[in-house]
Amino acid sequence: MFQKRTSIAQVEESDNLAPKFDENGLIVVTTIDSQTKEILMIGYMNEESLTKSIETKEAHYYSRSRKAIWHKGAKSGYVQKIKEILIDDDQDSLCMMVDIGENGASCHVGYKSCFYREIDLEGTKNKPGLRFKTTKKVFDPNIVYGDEPNPTKL
């Protein structure tokens, strides 16, 4: 589905889709709520999941913890409908604008967005902490995921 990368001009200034997958075969993707412009998550795709995302217009990622294609929402019901996929200058990262509906969620912890905390930039300089931007969960992960292993790795 993708073009070979032949020159810097082709990659940066042409209409050829010639993505660069890294040494693990992955490309990073930032996912943004197309309605609110809020960042929802950062994930990864391999060639197969990017192809599936383009073909189905539903977000498919590559799960690095499970080492498998991951159709977002297949388990939780929180499917991401793709509105746009942007690509950057050197074509090694993507930005996906998605529709998750008014009560949608993208975070396995239960929040709407994975980015529910910010670094306290005004805090103690040598050991800054985090501040919650919201404490409102959209769903209860224990009910949705049950005994499934948590994808977070230490």
- Among residues 26, 116, 117, the alpha carbon closest in space to that of 68 is found at 26
Judged by beta carbon, residue 39 or residue 138, the one nearer its own copies is 39
- Among residues 112, 108, 92, the alpha carbon closest in space to that of 36 is found at 112
Residue 102 CB, nearest approach to its own copies (Å): 19
Judged by beta carbon, residue 22 or residue 68, the one nearer its own copies is 22
- Among residues 49, 50, 59, 97, the alpha carbon closest in space to that of 79 is found at 59
Judged by beta carbon, residue 115 or residue 138, the one nearer its own copies is 115
Site of interaction with its own copies (CB under 8 A): 1, 3, 5-8, 11-17, 20, 28, 30, 32, 37, 39, 41-42, 54-55, 57, 82, 84-90, 93, 95, 107-109, 111, 114-121, 125-133, 150-154
Residue 135 CB, nearest approach to its own copies (Å): 10
- Among residues 29, 27, 21, the alpha carbon closest in space to that of 4 is found at 21
Q: Is 13 exposed, middle or buried (0-12, 13-18, 19+ CB in 10 A)?
A: exposed
Judged by beta carbon, residue 34 or residue 71, the one nearer its own copies is 34
Residue 21 CB, nearest approach to its own copies (Å): 13
Residue 76 CB, nearest approach to its own copies (Å): 14
Between CA 100 and CA 35 the distance in angstroms is 9
Between CA 78 and CA 139 the distance in angstroms is 10
Residue 120 CB, nearest approach to its own copies (Å): 8
Beta bridge partners, 93, equal 28
Judged by beta carbon, residue 48 or residue 89, the one nearer its own copies is 89
